[in-house]
Amino acid sequence: MKQTAIFAGGCFWCMVEPFETQPGIINVVSGYTGGHVETPTYEQVASHTTGHTEAVKITFDSDIITYKQLLEIYWQQTDPTDAMGQFQDRGDNYRPVIFVNSEEQRQLAEDSKKRLIESEQFDAPIVTKIEDAKPFYPAEEEHQEFYKKNPRRYALEEEQRKAFIDKNWK
């Protein structure tokens, strides 16, 4: 069955590939959500005046990959202890958020966050928010599938995230 998930975990450029390469993923779109400005631009979101955060909207076949599996992938792409951005990306537009679109997603997200807290994997508190999904606005075309279009720049953007993942999640 076709479903959607919306995750924010820093720069959306680095959030596409980990999901897009999984079986059962139909589409991953980079965009903006959570704010008060309709159809914002990249420049507006980067100005920290829209309330939006960069996020990815994932369309998936839940018969092949479950929302619970997507949550596991999500956690392992982020620093869940950093509320004001991710890695080199600083500011509220890079905050980590799981945007849920149903009570079932909320419960699964809350349960996964609770398991992470109880694991005591991190010394600092887990600060990733779980919020109701808001309107999602796709980003401009140049931001879609950035890892394929700009592999060198993507590799540079990904360095800190990759080092964190290797240290904390592998």
Averaged pLDDT for residues 88-98: 94
- The catalytic residue among 11, 58, 65, 73 is 11
Told to judge if 14 belongs to the known catalytic residues of this protein, a careful annotator would answer no
pLDDT of 93 over the 90 cut: yes
Closest by CA to 84, choosing from 72, 76, 74, 92, is 92
Helix (H, G, I), strand (E, B) or coil at 44: helix
Q: Give residue 170's pLDDT.
A: 78
Q: Give residue 157's pLDDT.
A: 85
The CA angle 69-86-107, to the nearest 5 degrees, is 35
Q: Enter the pTM of the model.
A: 0.95
122 falls in which pLDDT band (50, 70, 90)? Answer: very high
Q: Give residue 135's pLDDT.
A: 98
